[in-house]
């Protein structure tokens, strides 16, 4: 399974994935890490792991379509088969969706369809929800919609603060994302044989 990781920020999910790849727990070859933010820490993490780190900003393109066409060009050049979103905070447009149908995977820090968007953890916390969790799903044209692959719930305790909840969600993400990607990579290998 040859994949590119798209991320906009810290990259702790990328770190969990690359760690599992290096331990041979996921049969995945990471072609590159791409960020739409030049100062995203994920780019440092990629370089530290010897993975190519590429960035350009949509602001430098006249339209989203042209930005994505440039990204697609890169994906094709590196013969990428799967796109893994790990905190990539942009809606995927038709250009990439058409080129990678059912081949773009996202992780989101809530039990979708609850709390989509940029602030999934905070919104669940502020809503005083009893439970929240993590969703891994295929991407479609909506914001954090698309067929769900797996969800895992966790309780929000009376004693939780926003910070403690964030910490618990991230821990869950770091377990769940590598596990699900390993399963997809295995299925993929079976399908290719």
Under the rule (CB under 6 A), what is the footprint of ligand GAR?
Answer: 7, 9-13, 86-87, 107-109, 120, 144, 173
Nearer to ligand GAR, 18 or 185 (CB): 18
Is 139 among the annotated ligand-binding positions?
no
Is 136 among the annotated ligand-binding positions?
no
The CB density around residue 23, as the number of other CB atoms within 10 Å, is 9
Q: With contact defined as beta carbons under 8 Å apart, do 108 and 145 qualify?
A: no
Nearer to ligand GAR, 10 or 175 (CB): 10
Is 104 among the annotated ligand-binding positions?
no
28: phi > 0 → left, psi -120 to 50 → alpha, else beta; which? beta
Nearer to ligand GAR, 100 or 120 (CB): 120
To which residue do tokens 């790849």 refer? 21
Element (H, E) at 91: none
**Gap between the Cα atoms of 144 and 107, Å rounded:** 9
Is 83 among the annotated ligand-binding positions?
no
Residue 119 designated active-site:
no
State in angstroms the smallest separation of the CB of 115 from ligand GAR. Answer: 9
State in angstroms the smallest separation of the CB of 191 from ligand GAR. Answer: 27
Element (H, E) at 140: none
**Gap between the Cα atoms of 134 and 141, Å rounded:** 20
Nearer to ligand GAR, 103 or 108 (CB): 108
State in angstroms the smallest separation of the CB of 192 from ligand GAR. Answer: 28
183: phi > 0 → left, psi -120 to 50 → alpha, else beta; which? alpha
Catalytic residue among 108, 119, 137, 170: 108
Catalytic residue positions? 108
Which residues contribute to the annotated binding site for (6R)-10-formyltetrahydrofolate? 64, 89-92, 106
């Amino acid at each position: 399974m040859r994949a590119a990781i798209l991320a906009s920020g810290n990259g702790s999910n990328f770190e969990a994935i690359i760690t599992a790849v290096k331990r041979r727990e996921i049969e995945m070859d990471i072609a590159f890490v791409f960020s739409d933010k030049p100062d995203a820490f994920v780019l440092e993490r990629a370089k530290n792991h010897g993975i190519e780190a590429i960035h350009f900003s949509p602001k430098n393109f006249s339209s989203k379509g042209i930005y994505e066409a440039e990204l697609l060009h890169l994906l094709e050049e590196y013969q990428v088969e799967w796109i893994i979103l790990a905190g990539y905070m942009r809606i995927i447009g038709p250009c990439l969706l058409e080129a990678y149908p059912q081949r773009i995977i996202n992780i989101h820090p809530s039990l979708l369809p609850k709390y989509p968007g940029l602030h999934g953890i905070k919104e669940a916390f502020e809503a005083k929800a009893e439970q929240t969790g993590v969703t891994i799903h295929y991407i479609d044209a909506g914001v954090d919609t698309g067929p769900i692959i797996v969800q895992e719930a966790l309780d929000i305790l009376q004693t939780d603060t926003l910070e403690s909840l964030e910490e618990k969600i991230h821990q869950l993400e770091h377990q769940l994302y590598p596990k699900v990607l390993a399963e997809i990579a295995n299925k993929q290998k079976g399908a290719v044989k």
